[in-house]
Structure 1
Amino acid sequence: MKKILILLCSVFLLTSCMSIFSSSKQSITFVGENGTTLYDGVNNVKLAEIKEGGSATVKIKKKLSDKTIIAKKEGFKDTPFVIESSFNAKSLWNILFWPGFLIDLGTGKINKYDPVIYNIEMDNKSN
């Protein structure tokens, strides 16, 4: 009985509301020209490449800060843009269990990226 009580207490103490309603990653869709490559602005890691369909979807880990993405394509200027992080209103359910705010804050689930679709427009290098 003692083991069951400890297990139940740990489940309630180590989970939060957003663990139920939200993932720690969010899908972001980029729409642009075929052949455009998307890189993380901080560490220059390739995230995705827009192919024939004209779009690419990437799962990005949620953070408290905004995320910078750089779009690159041969013959075009590199185009940086910012994916804005905003407060996720679903995390207000943590009022019912206040330690959940701390867990959601640490995992980034307290925020979300908005909007989730970005249209990439690039300028020619000749301009």
Structure 2
Amino acid sequence: MRTPLPLFILLVTLCSNCATVFSGTTDQVFFDSQPGGAAVYLDDHFLGRTPLRTSVPRSLKPRYVTYELDGHEPSTQLLRNRVNGVTFINLLWWPGFIIDAATGAINRLEYNSFYMEMYPLPDGIRHPDADTNRD
């Protein structure tokens, strides 16, 4: 039995996005802070409170994680990306690069663990950006 050429091309195209298939579109990340209990926001979206392990979607754009804790100065970190090595398998079939780029799988987070030391505000001062009702 012979497979029709269009079906074969479709099958190869769908299976060629190697990074998306083999390594997924999210990274498991651990966030922690000292003191614990800080609210963690990824690009202004609440993720939870430290210590926190969660799935973070991969992205082509730079993203920031912000830690907020009442009585402490809010702090922000850049989540840096690196190239996902599995993507290079797409050299065998270039449309896979397009799919991996669209899903963000072409990148991975550089680190899978982030830690933030929270600094207390001087007594009696409340940071204007701190919003205890934010989450």
Calculate the aligned-residue CA RMSD, in Å: 1.9
Q: TM-score, normalised by structure 1?
A: 0.83
Distance apart, 1:57 and its partner CA: 1.0
User: Which residue is 2:115 aligned to?
Assistant: 119
Consecutive unaligned residues of structure 1, counting only runs of 5 or more, are none
| Residue aligned with 2:40, SS | strand
User: Which residue is 2:41 aligned to?
Assistant: 39
- The residue correspondences of 1:1-127 to structure 2 (distance < 5 A) are 5=4, 6-15=6-15, 16-32=17-33, 33-41=35-43, 44-50=44-50, 55-126=51-122
How many residues are treated as equivalent by the alignment? 120
Distance 1:11 1:48 in 2: 40
Q: Specify the code of the residue in structure 2 equivalent to 1:40.
A: L
Q: Specify the code of the residue in structure 1 equivalent to 2:41.
A: Y
Q: Which runs of 4+ in 1 moved over 2 A?
A: 4-11
* Identity between Structure 1 and Structure 2 (%): 22
Consecutive unaligned residues of structure 2, counting only runs of 5 or more, are 124-135
Q: Specify the code of the residue in structure 2 equivalent to 1:99.
A: P
